[in-house]
Amino acid sequence: MRRLLIPVLLALALTGCASDFGVYANVSEVERLRLVRTLGVDADESGVLLSADTGSGGGGRAVIWRIRAGTLAEAARRLEKNAMKYDANISHTEHVILGEAAARAGIGETLDYVARTMQMRLDTCLFVARGSRAEDLVTGARGEDASVSDMLQSLKKDAPVIYGCGVATCLEAAEALASEGCVLLRAIAPEPSPEWSEEGYTAVAPAGGAVISGDRLLGFTPEEESEAVGLLTGSVSSGCRALDYGGVPVTLLLTGADVRLKPVTEGGQPAFAVDARLRYSLQGAAAPLSVGDGAVRAGLAAAAAEEVRGELTAAIRRAQGFGCDYLGIRRALCAASPGRMAPYREAWRSLFPKMAFTVAVSAVILRTYDLGDPIA
């Protein structure tokens, strides 16, 4: 027993819980804590501006802090060790928003901080503020009893269903940067006085994707391409499509998608083919449509397929334009045909921007939910 006692006492002195002389020094009482749910990171010549929002989940009002420091780690440390009424606790941070300027300067420091800080979680979602500072979103976004954290929470939940593609976490972003050298993050922007809210509220709206290459922001993709991005990356699970079918506005609901990529050769050069098979259901139409008629359904499906084909083509062209494969095309091709892709793995970055491709889309309308006029 005595042999054990000495190592145990020594180990106690080395505990991470001991910051000064007593092991009790690192304690913080829960009643003083406020859980930071969203961190905003902005950067300029003078350093980093960290803004933090607690959200209104605890039943109380959201608390917002702003700290300026030389580095992100220093700002976060000062945020936690502040001498304010509450102790900020960053261990429950769910969202990190990077201001556009900060993203252009590089997201490496932020990812590094999240990865290396014990309290931070790797599943923290990463957003880029399009055309604004993160601080503007953190301090400016306000709704009925809602702060930026609550809005981002909602956006994160709805993104794969309503907004076409999901939200990348810090872990996913770091993995994509390590393997592909680029990543597409969710871009968000403040939306003052949205039509659904009361006057004076500012919402957070999805604003396409932010293309990060190396660790810097290259540009943005439009929000309209989000579904195409989602289809190519496999993150879309549902989504609505508004069509104009012979002058009748129609809404289709995507109920299933099967997108396959395969390497092909075109004129002796490597190319790839995209084959997307989509299943839709008719959600509603502004005028009566005879959906029982096969020709009407085929027409609707063809119109939807044509739109999607255009969006997929545009999304791939845009990726080629940026010169980075943030859509994960190489990964998908390697998974589909590892042997054929082996020679191109190393040279993929130079090959991809000028690679030829074909896109084939087929769609089918499966059911209408109209019990009086069912489709088999």
Closest distance between another protein and the C-beta of residue 52, in Å?
A: 14
CB atoms within 10 A of CB 5: 9
Closest distance between another protein and the C-beta of residue 133, in Å?
A: 26
Closest distance between another protein and the C-beta of residue 91, in Å?
A: 3
Q: Could you give the CA distance from residue 17 to residue 24 in angstroms, rounded to a whole number?
A: 7
Closest distance between another protein and the C-beta of residue 12, in Å?
A: 6
Q: Which residue, 26 or 269, has its beta carbon nearer to another protein?
A: 26
Closest distance between another protein and the C-beta of residue 237, in Å?
A: 24
Closest distance between another protein and the C-beta of residue 93, in Å?
A: 9
Sign of CA dihedral 316, 317, 318, 324: positive
Q: Which residue, 28 or 193, has its beta carbon nearer to another protein?
A: 28
Report H helices in 85-197. 100-105, 108-116, 134-140, 148-162, 170-179
Q: Which residue, 145 or 224, has its beta carbon nearer to another protein?
A: 145
Closest distance between another protein and the C-beta of residue 89, in Å?
A: 6
Closest distance between another protein and the C-beta of residue 120, in Å?
A: 9
SS3 349: helix
Contacts 24+ apart (CB under 8 A), 82-88: 86/32, 86/33, 86/34, 87/28, 87/32, 87/33, 87/34, 88/33, 88/34, 88/36, 88/52, 88/54
Q: Which residue, 7 or 339, has its beta carbon nearer to another protein?
A: 7
CB atoms within 10 A of CB 78: 15
Q: Which residue, 121 or 340, has its beta carbon nearer to another protein?
A: 121
Partners of 284 in beta bridges: 251
Q: Are 273 and 264 in contact (CB under 8 A)?
A: yes
Q: Are 126 and 98 in contact (CB under 8 A)?
A: yes
User: Residue 229 corresponds to which amino acid?
Assistant: V
Closest distance between another protein and the C-beta of residue 57, in Å?
A: 5
Q: Which residue, 118 or 178, has its beta carbon nearer to another protein?
A: 118
Q: Residue holding tokens 């989504």?
A: 239
Q: Could you give the CA distance from residue 125 to residue 352 in angstroms, rounded to a whole number?
A: 28
Q: Which residue, 138 or 300, has its beta carbon nearer to another protein?
A: 138
User: C-alpha angle 172/222/168, rounded to 5°?
Assistant: 10
State how far Cα 320 lies from the chain centre.
Answer: 20
Name every residue whose Cβ is closer than 8 Å to that of residue 140 and which is 6 or more positions away in sequence: 190, 202
Q: Which residue, 119 or 358, has its beta carbon nearer to another protein?
A: 119
Q: Element (H or E) spanning 239, and its range?
A: strand 239-245
Q: Which residue, 4 or 371, has its beta carbon nearer to another protein?
A: 4
Judged by the rule CB under 8 A, the positions of this chain that interact with another protein are 4, 8, 11-12, 15-18, 23-24, 26-31, 33-35, 37, 57-60, 89, 91-92, 94, 118-119, 121
